[in-house]
Chain A
Amino acid sequence: MNITLEIWRQKDAKSKGKFVIYKLNDVSEEMSFLEMLDFLNNTLISKGESPVAFDHDCREGICGSCGLYINGWAHGPAHLTTTCELRMTKFKDGDKITIEPWRSKAFPVIKDLIVDRSVFDKIMQAGGFISANSGAAPEANSIPIPKDNADAAFDAAVCIGCGACVAACKNSSAMLFVSAKISQFALLPQGKTEAKERARKMVAKMDEVGFGNCTNTGSCETRCPKGLKLTHIAKMNREFITAKIVAEKST
């Protein structure tokens, strides 16, 4: 198939970017979306032009590196799919495809389609862990965990940290990302002790680094490639509010 691509090009963080149009012929239906971009880059290089920079690594939907805004959709038009899992069968001859980087103040563009998501690490550093030093752990089966809780914790833990939730949100809110981690740990007895403090610290850091607030539009949930649910945000709010009440009582 022959397609037209409209791609955001930006030399570096300081330069001003712009859309550039590329016509790409002989695209195979069998290509993945990123293989189509590899193919484009090959043609650009052979013409002496600069290839389009984009993040990617595992190319099987688990590392969270890739993330493109395709025709107005975070990760493109397919449901529960990362950009690297998206196939060209979703497109047809003559299509025009617009490709942008994640757009959020907290995720500045580094080059072309690559953004800096290091603020996610900063939020994790604020409290996204259980303080269990190596060697101090009790025997693994000494604390049984009801299967429903373990399964629910797993469902929250599948987040790949790609940032699609932020990109899809009109407020650039990171609540789905943050709440998934808070939920996972709050559901496990190992993580309960620090649950309230964790919620307080992670939320504070999230606000500090420039993410917006949640207004319950649910776009994050619809674009999350791993199917994380809005209910995590409710769980986070519960932990956060009780943390506040406890803090107020003790002062």
Chain B
Amino acid sequence: MIKFDAKIPEGPLTEKWSIHKRSVKLVNPANKTKLDIILVGTGLAGAAAASSLGELGYNVKAFCFQDTPRRAHSVAAQGGINAAKNYRNDGDSVYRLFYDVIKGGDFRAREANVYRAAEVSNQTIDQLVAAGVPFAREYSGYLDNRSFGGVQVSRTFYAKGQTGQQCLLGAYSGMMRQVAKGKVTMYSRRDMLDLVVIDGKARGIITRNLVTGEIERHAGHCVVLATGGYGTIYYLSTLAVGSNVSAAWAAHKKGALFANPSFIQIHPTSIPQLNDYQAKLTLMSESLRNDGRIWVPKKKGDARAANDIPEDERDYYLERRYPAFGNLVPRDVASRAAKERCDAGYGVGKTGLSVYLDFKDAIKKQGKKAIENKYGNLFELYYKITGDNPYEVPMRIYPAGHYTMGGLWVDYNLMTTIEGLYAIGEANFSDHGANRLGAGSLMQCSGEGYFILPVTIGDYLADEIKTPRISTDHPEFEKAEKEVKEKIDKLMAINGKQTPTTFHKRLGKIMWDYCGMARNEKGLQKAMIMVQELEEEFWKDLKVSDSAKELNQELEKAGHVVDFFGIAKLMIQDALNRKESCGAHFREESQTPDGEAKRIHSEYSYVAIWEYLGEDKPHTLHKEPLVFENVELKERSYK
């Protein structure tokens, strides 16, 4: 059995990080230059870590599957990044940010980690501004803030609807500076296919060079995974189509426990699916909900055009159900409410699977110019895709798979259960509990990359200064490489009829229908059988064109789908185990009489941590109890 220890420092919540920082071991500058760090994934968390670790003097080898780090999907985060600066004097504080994240996550995250995330958020904004990130400013020249995603203070920093792009490019610039200095070596167009563990410690990775097809070995004193989330499990999601779980899953199979895999956020405001060819869904920032009003017709199956439906025949269902927060309820609540209306037959559009997001009143009140200033680029994006002009007719939106709160289990140092293997950013599970608040993702990624990992990694590497450079000739590298090659050969040899995408689409549909916005025991059990059957079919009827010795995008996809089957089964097992509703995880059996999620704190106040025991075997469950010493557990009410 794999042991785990969260290693939360002693002391009061507000002091833990300071206490920890002054007690961790340090590595002297001369020794840092002898230590190699492998870093996989170069989005905001990875790029921020690469630049910071390079500055410290470590040798960083960074890997990404894209052609350059600037393309990682952090680039698509729209709304903003939270920090507890309290520039608006509206009563914000580190504690309040911490509390909002804990409550927003439905009390399923670790207090100490979340408090630290809130604590470093201010320094992160300082860092990003210094790096040249052009955040929005007021006429005074000071930074502007907006209110965002289910909180009542204005603490969100933003750069129009492109905050993620600007933060990522800031971190990427810093990383490029370290590449020039020779401290970071960039390996792009590489897919990590396995983790190499030697004597219990993470010592390297096996990659496939996506241009030549060559299988390569890379060694280091430790390995950091910043490989993002697996929202693409649903096939159609707001993620980049290349996002995948394979690196994290390889680590999981080698002994890194996986936490809360079924906690996956469904974003309420995406452009609905238009046709069967569609490759992805496009997100419309939830900042739109600050001014847009969500409604459906009061009459079932009303086929009239939106503008022909008079005011008193519209059901502004969020305002009706949640008068205190209205259209600004958190993502999980908004998504479920949309599903509820559509399932009941009130949905709009050709498929009946969408609701209106209407700016008519906002335009009337504030003028078209003001709305254009705030959302111009989003309206344009919407128009390009749908051909509808949101200044004149309401947008149509529907929820879509978006963000995985679950991920590799990490301790307070962000280390997984494999010694020397770290997970940062969306790849880990640590900060968002069962539901992530808007503008929390960029905050976590940059905080961990710039300020947390560079401290905690030293504590481990201090004991590695006498370890000579790791050789890739070690038998464990040999073995991992051989396994990877066998797996590729096996995929190439099936020679069936269906493409990897066909299987991915079918898997996605099963997961969306039974392990998406709402789950129940019967459905989940059915889904498990369906996934297993589909997986069997995959190994009999997969077709991968061309050869493995060249650039082969079909082979890349096939490899990812194999691991999607693994995480799909684990998500279902996790969702079956958690018989309560909490955050994004809604078990239909556990709801209040008026249809709200019902948490069962007495039984499920724990992190569900899963251990891999082998292909075709169910995972074993471990529990990390969640202890709340600083917040009072409350029903999460937005009414």
A interface, CB within 8 angstroms of B: 11-12, 28, 30-32, 34-35, 38-39, 42, 44-46, 48-51, 53, 55-65, 80-81, 85, 87, 89, 110-111, 114, 116-118, 120-121, 124-126, 128-141, 144-147, 150-151, 153-154, 157-158, 160-161, 184-185, 188, 190-191
Contact = CB atoms under 8 A, between A and B. Distances in A.
Interface stretch (B168-176, B324-332, B486-494): B168-176
B240 A125 contact: no
A133 B55 contact: yes
Given A63-B75, A110-B211, A111-B550, A57 B70 contact: no
20 contacts: A44-B545, A45-B499, A46-B497, A57-B241, A58-B241, A60-B381, A62-B75, A62-B76, A63-B76, A111-B551, A130-B130, A134-B174, A137-B123, A140-B126, A153-B132, A154-B166, A157-B166, A184-B132, A184-B134, A190-B131
Contact of A132 (B127, B497, B545, B554): B127
Interface in B118-160: 123, 125-127, 129-132, 134-143, 159-160
B139 A147 contact: yes
A46 B188 CA distance: 31
A136 B68 contact: no
Given A12-B551, A58-B76, A121-B179, A42 B499 contact: yes
A161 B174 CA distance: 16
Nearest to B449: A134
Given A31-B277, A110-B551, A150-B136, A60 B282 contact: yes
A38 B126 contact: no
Given A111-B550, A160-B165, 18 more contacts: A51-B545, A61-B381, A110-B211, A121-B176, A121-B179, A121-B186, A125-B180, A126-B180, A130-B132, A130-B173, A134-B454, A146-B137, A150-B141, A154-B160, A157-B132, A158-B162, A184-B134, A191-B132
B49 to A, nearest CB: 10
Interface of B: 48, 51-52, 55, 66-68, 70-73, 75-76, 85, 87, 123, 125-127, 129-132, 134-143, 159-160, 162, 165-166, 169, 172-174, 176-177, 179-180, 186, 188, 211, 240-242, 274-275, 277-280, 282-283, 380-381, 384-385, 387, 450-451, 454, 497, 499, 501, 543, 545-546, 550-551, 553-554
A124 B173 contact: yes
Contacts of B283: 60
Given A50-B545, A57-B241, A118-B188, A129 B174 contact: yes
Given A60-B76, A138-B130, A190-B130, A114 B385 contact: no
B130 A118 contact: no
Contacts of B123: 135, 137
Contacts, number: 212
A129 B177 contact: yes
B130 A132 contact: yes
A131 B178 CA distance: 10
A33 B230 CA distance: 25
A161 B177 CA distance: 17
B157 to A, nearest CB: 8
A59 B280 contact: yes
B178 to A, nearest CB: 9
Closest 5 A/B residue pairs (Cβ): A144-B141, A137-B130, A129-B173, A132-B130, A125-B180
A111 to B, nearest CB: 5
Nearest to B238: A60
Given A111-B551, A129-B174, A140-B85, A147 B132 contact: no
B279 A59 contact: yes
Contacts of B454: 134
A128 B543 CA distance: 43
Nearest to A121: B68
Contacts of B140: 144
A145 B279 contact: no
Contact of A30 (B188, B275, B546): B275
A57 B557 CA distance: 13
Contact of B142 (A50, A126, A132, A144): A144
A151 B166 CA distance: 13
A131 B68 CA distance: 20
Contacts of A65: 66-67, 71
A138 B166 CA distance: 19
Nearest to B499: A45
Nearest to A110: B211
A145 B173 contact: no
B450 A134 contact: yes
Contacts of A80: 380
Contacts of B142: 141, 144
Contacts of A85: 381, 384-385
Contact of A158 (B87, B165, B174): B165
Given A35-B277, A128-B173, A132-B174, A141 B241 contact: no
B70 A161 contact: yes
Contact of A136 (B130, B186, B279): B130
B29 to A, nearest CB: 14
Nearest to A111: B551
Contacts of B162: 62, 158
A137 B66 contact: no
A157 B169 CA distance: 9
A129 B134 contact: no
A79 B74 CA distance: 25
Contacts of B553: 51, 53
A22 to B, nearest CB: 15
A91 to B, nearest CB: 14
A117 B189 CA distance: 12
Given A12-B551, A140-B85, A185-B132, A60 B280 contact: yes
Nearest to A201: B180
A154 B131 contact: no
Nearest to A56: B241
Contacts of A89: 387
Given A45-B554, A134-B451, A57 B73 contact: yes
B255 to A, nearest CB: 30
A140 B451 CA distance: 16
Q: Most chain-B CB neighbours within 10 Å: which of A11, A45, A126, A184? A: A45
A191 B380 CA distance: 31
Contacts of A48: 545
Contacts of A158: 162, 165
B279 A34 contact: yes
B19 to A, nearest CB: 19
Contacts of B385: 32, 85, 87
A188 B384 contact: no
A141 B87 contact: yes
A74 B328 CA distance: 40
Given A62-B162, A64-B71, A134-B52, A140 B241 contact: no
A125 B188 CA distance: 15
Contacts of B550: 11-12, 111
A28 B277 contact: yes
Contact of B176 (A34, A62, A125): A125
